[in-house]
Amino acid sequence: MSTNTSPQALIAAQKTPLPKVVIATTAMLSFISFWRAAAIVLNDLGSSAFYAGAIAEQAIGKAAPWFILAIMLFAYAVRSMYIESCSMFVRGGVYRVVKEAMGSTLAKFSVSALMFDYILTGPISGVSAGQYLTGFLNELFGRLHVNLILPINSTSAVFAVVVTVYFWWENIKGIPESSGKALRIMYITTVMVVVMIVWCILTVWVRGAHLPPLPMPANLTFAPEALGWLRFSRLPHTIALIGILIGLGHSVLAMSGEETLAQVYREVEHPKLPNLEKAGLVIFIYSFVFTAGVSFFASMIIPDAVRPKYFGNLISGLSMNFVGPYNLRLGFEGFVVLVGVLMLAGAVNTAIVGSNGVLNRVSEDGILPHWFRRPHPRFGTSYRMLNLVVGLQLLTILLSRGDIFVLGEAYAFGVMWSFSMKGLAVLVLRYKQPGKRDFRVPLNFTVGKVEIPVGLGLITVTLFALSIMNLFTKQVATIAGVVFTLIFFTVFEISEKITLKHGGKHAELDMFNLESDGELTPAALSVRPGNALVMIRNSNALYNLAAVLDRINPRQQDVVVLHLRVLGRAGSGGNELTQEDLFSVNEQELFTRALSLAEKRGKSIHLAVAPATEKWEGILRAAQNLQSSTIALGLSSWRAVPDEARMAGLAWESLPEPRPQLTLEIYSPGGQEHIFYLGPHAPRLTNKEVDLLHGIWLELSNEVAPEELHHHDVVHIALEELRRNIQDGRRQEIIDTLRKHLSDIRQRPSTNT
């Protein structure tokens, strides 16, 4: 968002040059379609198809595809929980929701655990992409008789570092570019998925195949490291529920990325919640077919003795075991590797986007210092948070040395505990903040006046059961996760105290980049002619902005939000004003509230502060220079609406030529709208006036036949007659008649003038 206004006073309208302005821009308020939002999340969720099935099978045996299938179905239920939280809070990630429900301490614990997930998601995706690429290159070298074998782990680690640095720079530049690349990656991935599924079906039809063994206790073969501290117990083998929970716990890799959906929701365009629901459905269908499909087909097509060889690049192994000529299969493997590299690299981007969103929510609440939220001077993004996240991801890649199974074993602590706390928080809010919601998790029953959210309760209980089981069975994840969470939690606690000590009372406000060299023109503000100019002055009275955002179509008209600083004549020397003179904490709070309204509706606004020596002169000069078509105001606290409109009309007459035709909209807090037209315009006739005009036309049209008489001819004659009467000495009589007419109008309520 941008809008330009800079510090020069407005003086005589006929002689003043274009006013200077202060432009205020903020990090990431570019709105994206539900397709782009789905693409960002799918780059994480869908990418798990490349490695989740293999990691699960190594841990729990050949029945793993059934657990992957169950997790993909369960993910849709978890997604509905996230959609409900987003319907309550635009910035509805784990931190905000848990804090609203259960307080700041548990919120900081939840977000600390979630950061562990994000720090691991990027490296595991990058390393997996490197393993696909390295495996293909080694196979290609062998086919071409090149005496070169690349070390799998080391090469994968180098590739992961390169990809992470690349997407770090893309996110520094801003989410529109990153989401566009994510969408293009999904286009290519879709082609691969369709070809792969068709070829899988053909292979099964030609060779025949058997489904994986059912997920029964007798069919579960746990690897020693998969049982963790339970490896010396008989419980996993004798109690079916424990065995099932262990299997699901080792398959939750396939469910990462849900929190990113909540983080991206802030940028989803209008209509916001319906678009989020569409994105959720797209994500479910795509990830269900792709992730579960790969796991099942790999089990059915790749021989059991050969499959462990491809655990690092499962889809490559699938393509090399299709029916058909070897060279064709090798060519498709190359395509799989290309898609895998692109999609897994996209998951690195998703992890960066999500973690940046999480830290922004935490920082807005004063947990992190202002320094972290300072926007990039050129791109407006929160680059310091991006630097922190990417630095930790690069460190993780180096420590893992490119071993995908080490990263996989460490994964799932953060994601499961953040899911669990989020589910509990949404459940608590059902009772703490009851009432109407735009979306609710299904399966709700009412007993008397008490709501029983069965669906949400089952989701929460299942999440906690999986989280607790993982504590005992995933030793590496538990130890690493607990240590990382405690470190982050401690940092948050200390940072919050320091921030509050150094003026953290304004930490909830958005941070803005300020520029003061722009001209108040459409080109300088990146807005189109015909925009709507919304004037704001009180952060608690933005009802006029809300009304404009509710009715406007951002594809057809831009919205400029302008705060006018009216200066005395003595203080109007524009060159003496600084940015701090025009943009104080009051303006920061005002624009933060304005941005919140825009986010909730998924519509962009352009922000600016301008100085002026007189209210209406400043407003109309701004509208003229911006080529606005509409000016929207709230009610004046000391001037009646007709008087306000009259003042606007008089100021309009003083504008330099060419004077624009403008629509003036004055809104009341209750939603009442008063419309006036500035400049020459066709009048808005009431039904009574239209009937009167039509009656006169009917009466006179027969008299002048065969000449054709139009309604505008009647109006023309009437106006000419009125002018003649004014000039012939009947002026006072006409004025008295007008005053009586206006008095009669005031006696009856009207919404439009």
CA separation for the pair 741, 84 (Å, rounded):
54
* Average pLDDT of the segment spanning 370-383: 77
What is the pLDDT averaged over residues 542-547?
95
What pLDDT, on the 0 to 100 scale, is given for residue 504? 54
Go through 154-164 and write b for each residue having 16 or more CB atoms within 10 A of its CB, e for each that does not: ebbbbbbbebb
Whole-number pLDDT of residue 551 = 92
Per-residue pLDDT band at 458 (split at 50, 70, 90): very high
Distance CA(748)–CA(250), nearest Å, equals 72
Contact yes or no for 268/279 (Cβ under 8 A): yes
Q: What is the mean predicted confidence (pLDDT) over 269-292?
A: 93
Query: Quick one: average pLDDT of 200-220?
Result: 92
Q: What is the largest CA-CA distance in the chain?
A: 112
pLDDT above 70 (res 532): yes
700: pLDDT strictly greater than 90: no
- Mention the CATH class of domain 22-26+512-678: alpha beta
Q: 568: pLDDT confidence band, cut at 50, 70 and 90?
A: low
The stretch 347-368 carries a mean pLDDT of 78
Q: And the tokens for 301?
A: 């097509």
pLDDT tens-digit map of 608-636:
888 888 899 999 999 999 999 999 999 98
Q: Where do we find the tokens 């459940």?
A: 427
Q: Is the pLDDT of residue 7 over 70?
A: no
What's residue 92's pLDDT? 63
3-state secondary structure of 343: helix
Q: Which residue has the higher pLDDT, 585 or 553?
A: 553
Q: Number of H helices and number of E strands within the chain?
A: 30, 10
Query: The domain 62-495 belongs to what CATH superfamily?
Result: Amino acid/polyamine transporter I (1.20.1740.10)
CB 483 within 8 A of CB 453: no
Q: Is residue 508 over pLDDT 70?
A: no
Distances (CA, A) of 632 to 443, 530, 582: 44, 13, 22
Q: Cα 32 to the chain's mean position, in Å?
A: 7
Across residues 351-368, what is the average pLDDT?
78
Q: What is the pTM of this model?
A: 0.79
Report pLDDT for 740: 87
- CA 640 – CA 619 distance, rounded (Å): 18
410 contacts 477 by C-beta, under 8 angstroms:
yes
CA torsion sign for 352, 355, 361, 364 is: negative
Average pLDDT over residues 369-378: 76
Task: Please check whether the two domains, 22-26+512-678 and 62-495, share a CATH topology.
Answer: no
- The residue type found at 54 is A
pLDDT tops 60 at residue 16: no
The span from the CA of 112 to the CA of 482, in Å, is 10
**Residue 4 confidence (pLDDT):** 37
pLDDT(606) > 70:
yes
More confident residue, 710 or 24: 710
Position 518 confidence tier, pLDDT thresholds 50, 70, 90: low
Most confident listed range (119-128, 195-204, 727-736): 195-204
pLDDT at 666: 95
pLDDT above 90 coverage of the chain, percent = 37
| Average predicted confidence (pLDDT) for the chain | 85
Residue 13's pLDDT band (boundaries 50, 70, 90)?
very low
Domain ranges in the chain are 22-26+512-678, 62-495, 687-746
Q: Please indicate whether residue 406 or residue 32 has the higher confidence score (pLDDT).
A: 32
Quote the pLDDT of residue 3.
Answer: 35
Structure confidence at residue 188 as a pLDDT band (50, 70, 90): very high
